[in-house]
Structure 1
Amino acid sequence: MTDQPSLSFFARLWLALVCFWRIWLDRSFAQAVLPVRQADVAGRLPTGAPVAEPTPAAPPAPPPVVAVPPEREHASALQLLAMLQREGRLIDFLQEDVAAFPDEDVGAAARIVHEGCRKLVRQYLTLEPVLPQSEGDRVQVPAGFDAQRIRLTGNVAGQPPYNGALKHHGWVTTAVTLPSTSPAMDPRVLAPAEVELS
């Protein structure tokens, strides 16, 4: 058996979203996934093992499962959100009703949020454009293109290769260096309350 490549957090998140909707919309896909899930819950599926086609025999009933709390399952995403709050006050900005403020005040606040969040993203994530061309340039989309990396809009007809104007170059993460989450910390606490004593 060959070693399976390890998937980044964002690759796993994308796979979860795709599978979530496919399970809802495709009964045969859901039936194919169920035995794999039951085998995983029963502890019989090692990480990275190849997935076999489901057998017609009914699998044995799995033992009771202790569910992982959602905050532990999504600890990495919550940690990233907490860091964006700490460095750029992102949550404060998003929770504020900015409609009542003048544009100058919103712009000044957005500048502070942008500076802090940009610093954090550059510290922990390496980002590159999906396509190297500038927005507005003409690009060719070849046959067999990756639909996760390139989304076609406008008048999509016929077969690739396609030619069109680049509206957004996209982003792809090439490296993630987020710190590991401590099991002693409650990942639900995105920002502690601050109390100044007098």
Structure 2
Amino acid sequence: MTAPVFPPAPWYLTGDMIISVWRIPAAELPPWPLPPGSRPWITRRRSTLVTFWVDYRGESVLSYREFLIAQAVRHGRRTAASTVAAWVDDEQALHGGRALWGIPKQLGTINLRAGTGRTHAELLLTDAPPVRAVHRTALQLPVRIPARAHLVQQLPGGAACRVPLRISGRPGIGRTRLTTGPSTPVSFLDGHRPLVSLTMRGFRGTVGRP
């Protein structure tokens, strides 16, 4: 079967997202493979994770939904992040993320419902309990804030790949509560609460370089 054709890099993306930062005991995490030259950034026996629930739409090169987990790492002398797990509901996004940047995307059913001050998110997987999150916004900032970051990933051939990210949007600060069962790929998050959570409404971003 021929893989779906996907847009070339960079990808221009718009939409809404929920971002949460977690500090999880390193001993509770899976032994995720990391790019060459990278190792988990662990302090006080805890690893830092960042989760993203994203609804890409509008002027995005592709319209799809995603749940992504990135781990803070040390790459050489620098601190970066590496995507260790991701689910999308679109095959173009899956194959493009894997081929262009080595992001280990998988297919899943993702539901995102945004209301006034509250967003519900859900990841449905085959033969596993659902993963659900509820974010309640306490403070919505009226201005757009820009940010830059980069991922370090391992390409299919084994080489390390640096993926630049640029984003701007209106952040809303609040709380996210995630629930899941003990037999899901993200069960290590069950029973923990994020250090900080925020929404990014109407964001505009770029992933990768030409």
Q: Shared topology, TM-score over 0.5?
A: no
Q: Which has the higher strand share?
A: 2
Structure with greater contact order relative to length (CA < 8 Å, sep ≥ 6): 2
Find the structure with the greater CA-based Rg: 1
TM-score (norm. length: structure 2)? 0.21
TM-score (norm. length: structure 1)? 0.22
Q: Which has the higher helix share?
A: 1
